[in-house]
Structure 1
Amino acid sequence: MESKFDILIGELFETIKDTGGAIKNVTDNELFVAATSLFKFVDVGIKAKDLASQWKFEKFLKGFTATAPTEKQLKKLKKYIDSSIRAEFIADTFKKVLLSNSSKACLIMGTILSEIVDNEKEITHKQLICINALSQFYDIDLKNLVLLKDFSDTWVDDYRISKTDSKLRVIANQYEVDFDGVLITLDKAVNLQLLKKSFKNIEIIMDVEYQKIEELYLFNFIGEELIRLIERVEKMN
């Protein structure tokens, strides 16, 4: 026999289906199947009994509710899903949780969803980019990202990061992380729109028409927001 909680979860996804008219064949859509399988812990498409999947989803729920999800909170989420755009966003977020590479990223995604639902606001471009980035980060990427922000904050004048700066290798050693891994995270963060890249001439020899250009990296407002979210969940653990 289904519990009251199970019935409410079922109603939640019926809401996604009913309001997701813009999503073609929503009941067969992998987003819907994956999310339903996780909530109800049944094998549909992707096995929710997989320990990694359960662990990631539990982290997501912790971020969303801070405690076990209550009936009131789930009803609030159900009420929030009042359009096809919102239904598609919620379903896509569940998919990203399921396919994510980091349990900490799942926790952060849960806090983002909680903010959106609690304030009854539309998802912003900034939040969409943060969620997309989180779905592609490993735990070590999140640690490296904080390292890069701490390093950039040491430069009062411009907060820019250079791969060739010897001090970056020093701080990587202090954080006990692989320096090459830090550079991988840096490139990933640029591609995910969290940092912007600029160039600076550091050596020009006019006689031979030669110039050496240094690449510099700077956190943009989206990257700053993601750092805020990472630091917030650190306090939750």
Structure 2
Amino acid sequence: GTLFLDEVGDLPLDVQPKLLRFLQEGEIQPLGEQRPQKVDVRIIAATNTDLEGMVADGRFREDLYYRLNVIRLRVPPLRERRSEIPTIVNYYINHYSAKFGRRDITITPQTLDLLMVCDWPGNVRQLTNEIQRIIARAEDGTVITPDHLSPELRRAYLPSQGAATATGFGPASGLAASAANEAISQGLTLADATAELERRMIAEALRKHNGNISRAARELGLTRRGLYLKLGRHDLSASA
């Protein structure tokens, strides 16, 4: 069979040797039993943490890390693949509409644009929970607008009502307004404009820190590996 260990990076240090021993010996000792039993399972482990950094900090055993790290697959966080968000949203609108018996649920382009700029620290799970909550409370024919989003998202990504304008958006900061005006004047899509802003921020962070990957990644809120992946995606070098 297969044993899936979710968030293995949260495993306490005093428990990690037990997992390592299980992986090495292929044995378990059920509660109440006097003798260990051999088991033959495939181990799949997942984590949102930087295990390499935890090993360097002494918070995760190096031998356990290498025992688990046989075949490594990296699933980028949702904020690194924003172009997939409309597809995910529409899929789960249909999925939860069928589950809750709702019909003709749609979403406005403005709401989709808003979902695409969210950071989604909880990744796809957070996004699907948001859609599930909306559909569960919706009626047939509902058109999903920003008002249907959770209070946390509205507070983080929508202006206060006092600052709102007739378009539904309040006055942006000088930096945001400048970037928005430039993107619109160049005819960029939201996804293209987001990618261009990301590229510029990475280049500026590298320039500020003289190409030091660790410092630039820290300022951008990324891991070193995450920054290296973005450098490749934007065809940038550390000397950008």
TM-score by length of 1: 0.26
Bigger proportion of residues as helix: 1
Bigger proportion of residues as strand: 1
TM-score by length of 2: 0.25
